[in-house]
Amino acid sequence: MARMKFICDTERCVACHGCVVACKEGHHIPVGINRRRVIIINEGKPGERSISISCMHCSDPPCMAVCPAGAIYQRDDGIVLVNKDICIGCGYCLMACPFGAPQFPKNSSFGARGVMDKCTFCAGGPAPTFSEKEKRLYGQNRIAEGKVPLCAGMCATKALLAGDADVISKIYAERVARRGNGLKEKIF
Amino acid sequence: MTNHFNDIRHAKLVFFIGSNAAEAHPVAMQHILYAKEVNNAPIIVVDPRFTKLAAKATDYVRIRPGTDTAFLMGLINQLIQNEWYDKEFVRTRVAGFEELKEVAAHYTPEVVEDITGVPAKEVVRIAKLMATHRPGTVVWCMGLTQHHIGSSNTRAACILQLMLGNMGVSGGGTNIFRGHDNVQGATDMCVLSHSLPGYYGLSEKAWRHWCEVWGVDYEWMKSRFHSKEYMEKPGFTLARWYEGVIQEDKIYQYTPIKAVVFWGCSSTSQSQYHKLKKALDKLELVVIIDPFPTTTAAMCEKDNVYLLPSTSQYETEGSVTSSCRQAQWRYKVVDPIYDSKTDYEILQEFVKRFGFADKFFKNIKKIPEDVTREIARGTLTIGLVGWLPERIKKHTDNWHTFDIDTLQAKGGPCDGEYYGLPWPCWTEEHPGTPILYDISKPVAKGGLPFRARFGTEYTYPSGRKENLLAAEGVANPGSEIMGGYPEFKGWKTDVRVIKEAVKRGMAPFGNARARCYCWNFPDPVPVHREPLHSPRPDLIKKYPTYPDKPNHYRVYTRFKSEQKPELVKEFPLVLITGRVVEHMGGGDETRSNKYLAELMPEVYAEINPRVANNYGLREGDMIWVESPEGGRIRVKVKITDRVDDRTIFIPYSFGGMFMGRSMAANYPDGLVPYAIGEPANIVVNYGYDIKTQIQATKEGLCRIRKA
């Protein structure tokens, strides 16, 4: 069974926000809700770095552990999802999350897209796959279509990798091994 | 671009000057970061501002705005003085070296430090870095070109690459990243005031050539103009057309301009915008053809505007040209929505009503294929002969068969050809030329020498005579003449001449040396000249600008009379402008996208913490930025180290506000963009390149005060 993960290579990320906009356009996310964000540190100074952050789909998700309603669950492939029919929007998950991933609609606590919203790894939600309800509450289900998440698919520099942890860690490891040694074909 | 984006994967060094590719060309960054990772290539970024690109650099060089030529000549001088230059390349393929050497000698590291602010040691170190990492590529954008000596800046960058022997090789070249979709195509079609399509110019010969291609009578064409003189006289440029209306500078035309058409063009990307607005309010007619009701429309406060909604690129089809001279077929995704029409249809309707549809569409039965065919038949100068619609479509349909490093197809229906048939694509069988001036390949296989455009011999003012053709033994493999040769007579107008040349293994345009000394330019060898509005009055004396230029694209253009040394006392800060990744050009399209507007909602001025504290400004305060010409804008303060303590930066993609006033009420109901703001170009100073008249947006002075 695959284990889904994101890797963001900060040597490659140029802070273009393409991932953010792809996510929002693709899932029709309301303005003000950010399933994905680009964080820039040391802006304008030597050492400036940027990284694209969303829900990291943790193996042991703290959000799931603290959810009083039991609304957060993990699929067999590691993707962490929220059931918007059960979620009460209390915000415990936001306190527990090391990345600030959970998002809450600003206009009302029970907006059109439900209570808590976060990255779905483009895997929809608990509603029937490809149903109207799934699309409305959670967005596209690209994983069921056999596609990579929108954000990684959009990334121009391939800084953001998404998919089976075994596959993307191999891509990243090869990249790191070649990095800076001046060799093209031979890794070692 | 002499090379292509993918070819940067072969570079051992990437040198950026006046480019912020991370924001303006994020997709190209994959190749640059690949060179950095895999080749261990130093990434040098020369810029007054620590940009997002600088964040990815290995070596960042902060330079005073408007001093690029001095810096580049400093590097060139180091290469020559230390004998780090490519002697064999210079001996065989370069002209005017002695003249260059003499001028470059002035730019010692100490002189360069005084002019540019770059420490003398850094000048030497960067020159050595470039000499020891070959081939390297040089990239520039508007940061290098938009100066009153922009044409000298770009030539200095080319000469730098000649000295390093980095021309005509994979991983080298001068690579100018074009800023818009299909802008190379627009340039090749010469949507300009001084040339017919294909860089033919405006001479009678050029008109006769195109009249023959179009199948119309030359005399009839002439009868459409005011006179033959005006038919052959360069027109107003995009930078200065408004003077043709308001005439604050003297114009050289029998009539003022009465109407203007903006066809997919944003007026807010033009400097002196408060004067341009005056023109908009004075014109009898303003026509805007665009998918969006643009800022231009909102700026007009006279009832003289017509909006013609055109489709986006997804609702039409045709060939487009990339920055790397490649053609690609763009297929239609959806039919035009609402009541918008394609550009072709709008043009057709105009032509019908003007009454010359029979002549206009003589060769055009099927749009757009026959348009592409006509372009191929007429554009011999840059070798578009091989750009037939069916070939372009074949490449686009089979793009997975091309190699990511070389662009060459390996097997499949396009075997051996280069993706998009990069021009010159001399014949219907030619594979395209992926790298210009590459003499390692036969001409028929995509090789090319330097063009012989300026005769075969030249006598310099010193009396030295030089053969301008390439040296003995230097030519493409298979060339009938193994050495320099002049251009073939008639190659620009007769395709048979081109075919004959290629058959004989030779370039139709000859095989010459690249010139370091261009006698047809005001400065034959590039020299530093202080910006018109300079913060260094002491240097104005040493490096003054040019005399004023009357009748410069039909308008009097001030140089010397505009260079006022005392200006800096009143306007102490240097103003530069540029892109943000979220918005495109004038921003009418991107500011109407709610997600992009959310990411970049308002215009701001980047100010160094030291300046902010000296002016008593806090993050988020509103300030007035004022130009010497009376332009002023109200913008938010962003305190950052990106700029130094003498410079402020404002992104130029905003519109919908004008000198403190909102123009939102002037948009059609419900169509105000999500993000509006002051156009930075209101405060960009007066100043234009001496040769091209490009606006000098990356130099000039301003002052700020709390609003």
Q: Which of B345, B357, B287 is nearest to B311 (CA)?
A: B345
| Terminal Cα distance for chain A, rounded | 31
pLDDT of residue A89: 87
SS3 B395: helix
Q: Which residue has the tokens 């022997």?
A: B165
Domain holding A43, by residue range, is: 4-178
CB B179 within 8 A of CB B142: yes
At B16, which amino acid appears? F
Length of chain B, in residues: 707
- Best to test chain B binding among A29, A157, A172, A178 (most B CBs inside 10 Å): A157
B199 and B168 share a domain? no
User: Which among A17, A48, A175 has CB closest to B581?
Assistant: A17
How many structural domains compose chain B? 3
CB A68 within 8 A of CB A88: yes
pLDDT of residue A107: 63
Query: Measured between alpha carbons, how far is B387 from B322 in angstroms, rounded to an integer?
Result: 14
Cross-strand partners of B636: B604, B622
pLDDT of residue A186: 45
- State the virtual CA torsion across B35, B411, B383, B221 in degrees, nearest 10: -120
pLDDT of residue B134: 96
B347 and B299 share a domain? yes
**Would you say residue A185 lies in a domain?**
no
B265 and B355 share a domain? yes
SS3 B629: coil
**Would you say residue A127 lies in a domain?**
yes
Contact A44/B640, CB-based, under 8 Å? yes
Residue A178 has pLDDT above 90, yes or no: no
B74 and B100 share a domain? yes
B193 and B324 share a domain? yes
Q: Which helix (H) or strand (E) holds A167?
A: helix A165-178
**Would you say residue B475 lies in a domain?**
no
Rounded to the nearest 5°, which phi and psi values hold at A8?
-115, 120
> Residue B551 contacts by C-beta under 8 Å, 6 or more apart in sequence?
B252
**Would you say residue A124 lies in a domain?**
yes
How many structural domains compose chain A? 1
Residue A106 has pLDDT above 90, yes or no: no
Query: Measured between alpha carbons, how far is B428 from B409 in angstroms, rounded to an integer?
Result: 17
CB B289 within 8 A of CB B263: yes
User: Domain end: B315, B347, B364, which one?
Assistant: B364
The complex's ipTM works out to 0.93
B149 and B230 share a domain? no
Q: Which of B98, B102, B124 is nearest to B465 (CA)?
A: B98
pLDDT of residue A177: 84
**Would you say residue A141 lies in a domain?**
yes
**Would you say residue A17 lies in a domain?**
yes
Percent pLDDT > 70 in chain A is 91
Domain harbouring B72, CATH code: 3.40.228.10
**Would you say residue B695 lies in a domain?**
yes
Contact B26/A21, CB-based, under 8 Å? no
Residue A187 has pLDDT above 60, yes or no: no
User: Which among B23, B50, B599 has CB closest to A44?
Assistant: B50
In chain A, residues with a C-beta closer than 8 Å to the C-beta of B54 are 48
Contact B29/A18, CB-based, under 8 Å? no
Domain harbouring B673, CATH code: 2.40.40.20
Domain harbouring A18, CATH code: 3.30.70.20
Domain harbouring B231, CATH code: 3.40.50.740
Contact A21/B60, CB-based, under 8 Å? no
Query: Measured between alpha carbons, how far is B162 from B94 in angstroms, rounded to an integer?
Result: 7
> Which pLDDT band holds residue A114 (cuts at 50, 70, 90)?
low
Q: How far is CA B298 from the centre of its chain?
A: 28
Q: What does the block give as tokens for B48?
A: 């007054």
Q: What does the block give as tokens for B590?
A: 């991107």
**Would you say residue B625 lies in a domain?**
yes
Going through chain A in order, the beta strands assigned E by DSSP cover 4-8, 36-41, 49-54, 72-74, 80-82, 160-164
pLDDT below 70 — which residues of chain B?
none
Query: Measured between alpha carbons, how far is B402 from B409 in angstroms, rounded to an integer?
Result: 4
Whether the link from the prior residue into B651 is cis, omega within 30° of 0, is no
In chain B, residues with a C-beta closer than 8 Å to the C-beta of A25 are 595
Domain holding B578, by residue range, is: 537-706
Measured CB to CB, residues of chain B less than 8 Å from chain A are 22-23, 26-27, 29-30, 33, 37-40, 50, 52-56, 60, 581-582, 594-596, 598-599, 640-642
B222 and B325 share a domain? yes
Q: For residue B82, what are the CA distances in angstroms to B79, B125, B127, B128?
A: 6, 12, 10, 9
Report pLDDT digits (tens) over B209-232: 999 999 999 999 999 999 999 999
**Would you say residue A44 lies in a domain?**
yes
DSSP class per residue in B633-680: EEEEEEE-TTS-TTEEEEES---BEETTEE-GGGSPTT---SS-B--G
Q: Which of B227, B240, B215, B99 is nearest to B159 (CA)?
A: B99
Strands B327-330 and B318-321: antiparallel
B230 and B299 share a domain? yes
Residues 51-110 of A with CB under 8 A from B: none
Contact B37/A175, CB-based, under 8 Å? yes
Going through B163-239 in order, the beta strands assigned E by DSSP cover 174-176
Query: Measured between alpha carbons, how far is B524 from B546 in angstroms, rounded to an integer?
Result: 13
B192 and B327 share a domain? yes
